[in-house]
Amino acid sequence: MQTFVKFGGSVITDKKGQEAPDLPLIRRLAAEVRAALDVAPPDYRLIIGHGSGSFGHTYARRYGIHTGLAPDADWMGFAQTAAAALRLNRIVVDELLSAGVPAIAFQPSATLVSTGGLLAAWDTAALERALARRLVPVVHGDVAFDTAQGSAIISTEQLLEALCRDSALQPTRVILVGEAGVYTADPRANPRAQRIPFITAENIDTVLRGTGGSHGADVTGGMRSKIELMWQLVRAIPTLQVQLIGPAPGLLTAALLGQASGAGTLLMYQPVL
């Protein structure tokens, strides 16, 4: 069984701040991953990804990395964006290691190329070797050299899409730790907003009409783009299930073990009978 879990940038950092990690939460999520691995079957494989939050997004927006840089432009902002993303990745990996998770960092920009802001190629051979040795690869949203616009930002969701389409790495489950689910409206602005427990072909269009962007700096499109991309995946891979959950204590461990039915929002191709 192979699972991909993403720690949302808005969860592990304060996206309205500047390089502001939520260390206690990152530490707890790491402990919950370890708790799940302790009781998971021997063939359980896990890949972790995380957003850049107030680290990479802040620099990317400041220097316009996501909209493209000319070859003769000042690329210092590109380097600073990459460095910021790596600083957060180091924090996450170190906390996982401290919790006893055999985490190993993989910098996506070292082996990927994008075209027009979309991931075009990514060499994941080393990542496959890590999984075969029961290590836990940790990837993150990152800068990219782009063949059409010079530079781009590749979100963790785009990395996930590439993994899902790779038969050697394809997960059966995806867990996105961020918002407590998808709602009929923004629950921060509308107290009457209701959580949507399931997203299927029957309600996806209605759901997309009701979703918006992110709170704080985000150059990867916010909630709507995440749902659209995840829906493309479950439509292309009908056996895949994607669950969006919040960071409530104990919920990640339960979700990793398949024991969090009814929590958050579940995207699936086939409706629940």
Given strand 118-122, what is the order of strands in its sheet? 118-122, 112-115, 142-146, 150-154
- List the alpha helices (DSSP H) in the chain: 9-12, 23-39, 53-63, 76-98, 125-132, 156-164, 204-210, 222-236, 251-256
Contact between 177 and 29 (Cβ < 8 Å): yes
Contact between 153 and 141 (Cβ < 8 Å): yes
DSSP 8-state class, residue 21: B
pLDDT at 222: 67
pLDDT at 18: 84
**235-262 pLDDT tens trace:** 888 889 999 999 999 999 999 999 988 8
Element (H, E) at 3: strand 2-7
Q: Would you state the structure tokens that stand for residue 211, as one six-digit string?
A: 């979703």
**142-166 pLDDT tens trace:** 999 999 999 999 999 899 889 888 8
pLDDT at 48: 97
Provide the residue ranges of all domains of the chain, joining segments of one domain with +.
Answer: 2-260
Q: How far apart are CA 213 and CA 179, in angstroms?
A: 12
**11-59 pLDDT tens trace:** 999 877 788 899 999 999 999 999 999 999 999 999 999 998 888 888 8
Q: What is the pTM of this model?
A: 0.90
**Burial readout 158-189 (b: 16 or more C-beta within 10 A, e: otherwise):** bbbbbbbeeeebebebbbbbbbbbbbeeeeee
pLDDT at 174: 94
Of residues 192, 114, 175, the one with CA closest to residue 149:
114
Contact between 194 and 27 (Cβ < 8 Å): no
- The CA-based angle 203-205-208, given to 5 degrees, is 105
Kindly report the CATH class assigned to 2-260.
alpha beta
pLDDT at 218: 43
Q: Higher confidence at residue 220 or residue 133?
A: 133
Mean pLDDT of all residues in 67-87: 95
pLDDT at 253: 97
Q: Is the pLDDT of residue 270 over 80?
A: no
**205-219 pLDDT tens trace:** 888 887 754 444 444
Q: How many CA atoms lie within 13 A of 194 on its CB side?
A: 4
Q: How far apart are CA 9 and CA 178, in angstroms?
A: 8
